[in-house]
Structure 1
Amino acid sequence: MGLALLVFAIVAVGSLLQRVSGMGLGLVAGSILSIVMGPIEGILVVNLLAAINATMTTVIVRKSVDWKKFWLIAPVLVFGAIPGAWLIRVVSGPTLQVVVGTLLLGALATVTFGVQRIPHAQGRAPAVIAGIIAGFMNTLAGIAGPAITVYAQVARWPQVPFAATLQPIFIVSGLVSLTVKVASGAGTVASVTPWVWIFGILGMIAGIFIGARASQKIPRSTARKISLSVATLGGVMVLLRGLVGLF
């Protein structure tokens, strides 16, 4: 029950931040649950909960979704998910935690410090590349958002349609990553207690409900900073735990 309550709190905070800023659940839950539940099972739980959360949010923001960009990015997610699932099968748990922590911190550093220095680019290629990288990172670490964020900066994608379009992309990325890992034998959620799912969904509903109201008062920039701060702390913890396991 203690794990279920922790999942409730993490998912509620992540869902609230995602409703306000466009992303947050994978960033917050991915790092923490990979420590509490392990880098394989924890990220699988994040993949499925993120897909459910994004489905609920998509219903709310559907009028702002840029479906043209969605169809550029979503279909290629699988091409990143497949090598991600292969890597999970061939490396040890501590090594995987080091990879997850490094990927998370690298993505956060890029989103925080590097996006303003990335030159403007047009055409389909940047979107396709971002989709493949997002699929890979989501499969390993439960974080598709940072790669798409970098693309949004490259393409000068306005914040409102960007945040809205992230939601159906998260649906696809979560389901693709989950399916590829389970089908390839890289992971399973069979041993996850039903209470984790029940409390996860309850936390999600609470987070979205509060986030819908908080979005009227909390600046997107503030929510984004909170998400990035929590994710950075989690990424450092995952990396350190992996390094301790290796040495």
Structure 2
Amino acid sequence: MLVVCGVGIAVAVGAALQRISGMGVGLIAAPVLSLLLGPVDGVLLVNLLAVINAATNTWGMRADVDWRKFAPIAAALLAGVLPGAWVVAHAPTNILLVTVGALLLLALSVVTLGKRYVPRVQGVVPAAVSGVVGGFMNTLAGVAGPAITVYAEAARWPQRVYAATLQPIFLVAGTLSFTVKHFTGAADVSAIEAELWVATLAALAVGIALGKRLAPRVPATTAHTIALGLAFAGGATTLARGLLA
């Protein structure tokens, strides 16, 4: 019962924050679900929840989605998902988690703390690179947002466009990560208990409703600060999980 309650709270908080700032479900729920359900089943459930949440948010935030920014990132996701699925199935992930987490924290520090010294990034190649890294991280740890945030900061995306455009990216990333892991045998959805499905879906609905209600009342600058805080937390969590492993 405590496990179900813990998972439900994490999912609800993550879904609310995602509607407000652009991301949250993977960053808040993935560490909790991985701890309670194991790194494979936990991340698999996060991938599925991310698909449902992102589909809902994409529709609700569609007016602010920049599809030109979305396209190159989404197209590159599969190039990161495939090696991520191989790693989940065959390789020890602790060293990769440490490496990815450390690089994310370094990159985020550069594009935020040293933003004035970083030239504006443009073009398809940097966007595609963020998609590859995001796809790999989403498959490995259930968090694509920090990698995309590094690019979005360097490209100077406005907060409203950033928060909205992340949603279809998460939709594609979650779908690819789940599909590839399922059909390659890297994870088994039947291992997730029915009561967890009920709890997480109910919590997701509550979080989406709460976030939808709060989002118009949160200033863009505050939402941007929350998003960056979550991105740093995602990098730190990834690093910590690798070190603890």
Q: Report the AA paired with residue 172 of structure 2.
A: V
Deviation at 1:60, TM superposition (A): 0.8
Distance 2:183 2:80 in 1: 15
CA RMSD of aligned residues (A): 2.1
Structure 1 counterpart SS, 2:131: helix
Distance 1:204 1:105 in 2: 30
Distance 1:119 1:6 in 2: 42
What's the TM-score, normalizing by structure 2? 0.88
Distance 2:184 2:171 in 1: 20
Q: Report the AA paired with residue 63 of structure 2.
A: K
Structure 1 counterpart SS, 2:191: coil
The residue number in structure 2 matching 1:58 is 58
Note closer, same or farther for the CA distance 1:105–1:12 as it changes in structure 2 (3 Å cut).
farther
Q: Report the AA paired with residue 226 of structure 2.
A: A
Note closer, same or farther for the CA distance 1:105–1:214 as it changes in structure 2 (3 Å cut).
farther
Higher RCO structure (Cα 8 Å, ≥6 apart)? 1
Deviations 1:22-43 (A, max 9, x none): 0111111122222221111111
Deviations 1:90-119 (A, max 9, x none): 22xxx42453355345424533x2212543
Structure 1 counterpart SS, 2:100: helix
Note closer, same or farther for the CA distance 1:229–1:147 as it changes in structure 2 (3 Å cut).
closer
Deviations 1:168-227 (A, max 9, x none): 110100010111111111111211011212111111111111112222334214533663
Deviation at 1:156, TM superposition (A): 1.8
Structure 1 counterpart SS, 2:186: coil
Q: Report the AA paired with residue 135 of structure 1.
A: G
Note closer, same or farther for the CA distance 1:11–1:109 as it changes in structure 2 (3 Å cut).
farther
- Whether 1:99 and 2:96 are equivalent positions in the alignment is yes
The residue number in structure 2 matching 1:152 is 152
Contact 1:118-1:153 at 8 Å conserved across structures: no
Distance 1:126 1:236 in 2: 23
What's the TM-score, normalizing by structure 1? 0.87
Contact 1:20-1:212 at 8 Å conserved across structures: yes
Q: How do residues 115-194 of structure 1 correspond to structure 2 at under 5 angstroms?
A: 115=111, 116=115, 118-194=118-194
The residue number in structure 2 matching 1:195 is 195
Choose 31-40 or 140-149, whichever is displaced more: 31-40
Distance 1:238 1:64 in 2: 34
Distance 1:72 1:43 in 2: 25
Structure 1 counterpart SS, 2:123: coil
Deviations 1:40-87 (A, max 9, x none): 111111111111111111111011111112122112211110011111
Contact 2:105-2:236 at 8 Å conserved across structures: no
Contact 2:146-2:234 at 8 Å conserved across structures: no
Note closer, same or farther for the CA distance 1:6–1:174 as it changes in structure 2 (3 Å cut).
same
Choose 214-223 or 71-80, whichever is displaced more: 214-223
Choose 227-236 or 201-210, whichever is displaced more: 227-236
Total equivalences in the alignment: 238
- Whether 1:213 and 2:210 are equivalent positions in the alignment is no
- Whether 1:239 and 2:242 are equivalent positions in the alignment is yes
The residue number in structure 1 matching 2:107 is 110
Distance 2:7 2:105 in 1: 22
Note closer, same or farther for the CA distance 1:222–1:159 as it changes in structure 2 (3 Å cut).
closer
Note closer, same or farther for the CA distance 1:136–1:160 as it changes in structure 2 (3 Å cut).
same
What is the aligned-residue identity percentage?
42
Distance 1:102 1:51 in 2: 26
Deviations 1:143-180 (A, max 9, x none): 11111111112222211111101001101000101111
The residue number in structure 2 matching 1:245 is none
